[in-house]
Amino acid sequence: MSGLTNPAAIIKGAYSLIVGLGVTIKAFFRPVVTSQYPREVIDISPRFRGHTKLVGDPENPERTLCIVCGMCQKSCPSGAIKKVEGEKKEGEKKKTLTTYILDFTTCSQCGICVEVCPTDALAFSADYNPVGFSREDCRYDLVNEYEQRRAL
């Protein structure tokens, strides 16, 4: 410490320490800024990128807007969309989606699948705390999830 023989520097240094102490003691008496997750439910912004979800057809809620073209599966950079299968039902012009498996462990939430979908059948969900005990729990069957949401 070079200023040791210099009393002005010592006083200035000591004053800076006291100023620093003042900052922390002021913070001590102010309210905490943490939120008690998971006990406290957090407001999620509408654009939050959780896992993707299927969007229902507004005219016919029994089916989703998906036409099983496979564009999302082809453009996913991580290969997270494992299975997109559908069948052509009687009297319908386009295919109906039966299986859509998303492996969320490799999804990077880039939004490319949502963007390239020609019918806007995919959207982001607001699920911010998905939990599971094994990798299998993170393989989402989005058609099932859509049916469950519709039942609610």
C-alpha 145 chain-centroid distance:
16
Q: Is 8 in the site for another protein (CB under 8 A)?
A: no
- Minimum CB separation of residue 128 from another protein in Å reads 10
Residue 30 binds another protein (CB under 8 A): yes
For residue 42, state whether it binds another protein (rule: CB under 8 A): no
Which residue stretch of 89-97, 104-112, 133-141, 142-150 sits at the interface with another protein (rule: CB under 8 A)? 104-112
CB 25 to another protein: min, Å: 7
Q: Which of 60, 105, 108, 144 is close enough to bind another protein by CB under 8 A?
A: 108
53: which 2 tokens? 């979800």
Q: For residues 45-84, which are near another protein according to CB under 8 A?
A: 45, 47-49, 75-78
Sorted by sequence, the CB contacts under 8 Å of residue 141 that are 6+ apart come out as 99, 100, 101
For another protein, the binding residue among 67, 69, 101, 112 (CB under 8 A) is 112
The b/e string for 66-97 (b: 16+ C-beta within 10 A; e otherwise) is: bbbbebbbeebeeebbeebebeeeeeeeebbb
Binding of residue 134 to another protein (CB under 8 A): no
- CA 22 from chain center: how many Å? 40
Q: Which of 50, 60, 49, 66 is nearest to 143 (CA)?
A: 66
Give least dist CB 150 to another protein, A.
Answer: 24
